[in-house]
Structure 1
Amino acid sequence: MSTQTMKSDEEFDQKCANPDGCKTIDLLIETSEKDLGGFTVRRVLPTRQRRMVGPWIFFDHMGPANFAAGEGINVRPHPHVNLATVTYLFEGEILHRDSLGSFQAIRPGDVNLMVAGKGISHSERERPEVTQVAHRLHGLQLWLALPEADEEIDPAFYHYPSADIPSAEVDGVAIRVIIGSAYGATSPVKMYANTLYVEAHLRAGQKITVPNAQERAVYVAEGELSSGDTLISERSMAVLSNAPTIELTATRDSRIAIVGGETMSKRYVEWNFVSSRRERIEQAKADWSAQRFPKVIGDEDEFIPLPQ
């Protein structure tokens, strides 16, 4: 899902800063709220200064949003190519359908991995049982750029219930290893490039050492962190340096996401498409305009037109 229109390759408007004298942080990214009609989304990646962190090329913080009865998320069918989407909810539920025939409710703690490969279409709505009462939605949605050798693989869908995602306590800090390996635990979620995704909950005063990876960043969904004298405020991301040991301290009770992985080659981004080849994006745009993508099974009547 892209809950707001993805801009063309060079147009991203988040505020970024290079913290002076901080050896552990290369870049601070501040997010701005986008009101999508009762639903707030914050775009974190990509930015002009930083396109990717490891294979992660898109990072959206959805909500928290409170919906009255009869309202909710209602994202019509739309396409993707050459990427994989990762949906992870803190609160609420999203109903996923796609052109493979997948029909899956995503609930808090679950990991939803949809591999677009050579092309997939999907929709994200809510079950009537959810929308008929007042409810709340809060979570993260990220996109992974597939390695060049895997960009045109067959599309696939993987769902991992919350109980399958490893959790542990590290020096009193509650962590979940969502993708990759960290803190002695390994996630079952399928990887293509070397990938890191960890969720952690810290109480004020607690510290966490960031796992090693070629590229790393931390996003503060709730709370506030510090690295030395540099603060990482709520709803902002710190792209971390290659310092061998980086320790972060919670200045308030915090929920954070640590993401990263191996360095990837350049990717082009437009709307819902990501590719190492600009001409592949142009082809995907033409295919969607001509309705050559496969239809979402069970949701065939509507679609989001290609933005002009």
Structure 2
Amino acid sequence: MSIRSSDIDGVDAVILPPVRDLGDGFTVRRALPSQHRRMVGPFIFFDQMGPAVLDAGEGLDVRPHPHIGLATVTYLLEGEILHRDSLGSVQAIRPGEVNWMTAGSGIVHSERTSPEVRASGGGLFGLQTWIALPKAAEEVDPGFVHHKAGAIPFTEDAGAKITVIAGSSDGLLSPVKTFSDMVYADIVLADGARYQVKAEHVERAIYVVSGAVEVIGQTGGFAAGELVVFKPDAEIVLKARGGARLMLLGGEPLPEQRHIFWNFVSSSQERLEQAKADWKAQRFARVPDEQEFIPLPE
């Protein structure tokens, strides 16, 4: 994980996440948490998966594993993933759709390529984020909600399309039920199109998925694979160089520190130890029809 300097006013940090190859050319970039920035608003984890091309017979196989104290959001740009969890949910997710899984007191899930998609192969490209839950909601009952692409609000103007996945921004409110003030949006800009990053949320960042953007009135810009964290109250106008796709993330920071171990997030170190012991003893609920699981890392 590295960071680069920027002379652009209003920029707090530019984080360059490392690329990890998980095998067969499938790569992951982890922008959060980093040694330079643990969280942006309630966002405590931000991964880019792919882009990758899976040959016929190949697929994603993330075996059942547990979470506590957070909500996960899966958002695909290409391909399909089949979600299964310990509540009995079985849901394919496709581009533009939103899977919001509330872990709360504890949930187990798997993420795989369906047999149908595995047989034919195809592309896979997406983003996975964890949103830390407020202290009062850390132990809520687990839940899973799927929203079709047509239910996610968007607006288009002068070559800029803004889709609000969760939370609120640009006058749009997502139907996804959140537990704290936040924004998560997909912004697609045509060549030369502009987007103003408004100061309506305390903490904000953009992740450049593809293309590049410059800052109007200032020298310098941002390229694909960079997480740009802005200073509070800064208003910045971005302009696409040849077309760009960005993810906007942020919100109200949580007042308490969050501890992370593996897939567990909590304001209490003791709660993490309990979750570790519970997974080791297999006291979490199981995903129906799945026998495999990822063991606790030592």
Corresponding position of 1:214: 202
1:298, distance to aligned residue in structure 2 (A): 2.3
1:55 to 42, 46, 58: 42
SS of aligned partner of 1:281: helix
Corresponding position of 1:23: 9
SS of aligned partner of 2:120: coil
1:22, distance to aligned residue in structure 2 (A): 2.3
Gaps of 5+ in 1: 1-13
CA distance in structure 2 between the partners assigned to 1:282 and 1:217 by the alignment: 31
Q: Structure 1 or 2: larger strand share?
A: 2
Corresponding position of 2:225: 235
1:204, distance to aligned residue in structure 2 (A): 2.0
What is the number of residues matched between the two proteins?
293
CA distance in structure 2 between the partners assigned to 1:78 and 1:134 by the alignment: 25
Corresponding position of 1:279: 270
Corresponding position of 1:246: 236
CA distance in structure 2 between the partners assigned to 1:171 and 1:254 by the alignment: 14
CA distance in structure 2 between the partners assigned to 1:170 and 1:216 by the alignment: 22
Corresponding position of 1:143: 130
Which digits, 9 at most, give the CA deviation of each residue in 1:120-158, with x for residues without a partner?
000001111100012110000000000000000100001
Which digits, 9 at most, give the CA deviation of each residue in 1:64-90, with x for residues without a partner?
010111101001000000000000000
Amino acid of the residue matched to residue 212 of structure 2? E
1:174, distance to aligned residue in structure 2 (A): 1.0
1:244, distance to aligned residue in structure 2 (A): 4.1
Does 2:164 align with 1:164?
no
Amino acid of the residue matched to residue 298 of structure 1? D
Does 2:287 align with 1:296?
yes
SS of aligned partner of 1:266: coil
Amino acid of the residue matched to residue 307 of structure 1? P
CA distance in structure 2 between the partners assigned to 1:230 and 1:79 by the alignment: 42
Amino acid of the residue matched to residue 269 of structure 1? I
1:116, distance to aligned residue in structure 2 (A): 0.3
SS of aligned partner of 1:285: helix
SS of aligned partner of 2:105: coil
Q: Is the 8 A contact 1:23 1:243 kept in 2?
A: no
**After TM superposition, which residue ranges in structure 1, 4 or more long, deviate above 2 angstroms?**
none
Amino acid of the residue matched to residue 213 of structure 2? L
Which digits, 9 at most, give the CA deviation of each residue in 1:73-120, with x for residues without a partner?
001000000000000000000000000000000111000000000000
2:52 to 65, 69, 79: 65
Does 2:99 align with 1:119?
no
SS of aligned partner of 1:252: strand
2:85 to 98, 101, 106: 98
CA distance in structure 2 between the partners assigned to 1:110 and 1:260 by the alignment: 20
Q: Is the 8 A contact 1:97 1:298 kept in 2?
A: no
Amino acid of the residue matched to residue 279 of structure 2? W
2:213 to 205, 221, 225: 225
Q: Is the 8 A contact 1:66 1:135 kept in 2?
A: yes
Corresponding position of 2:259: 268
Amino acid of the residue matched to residue 220 of structure 1? V
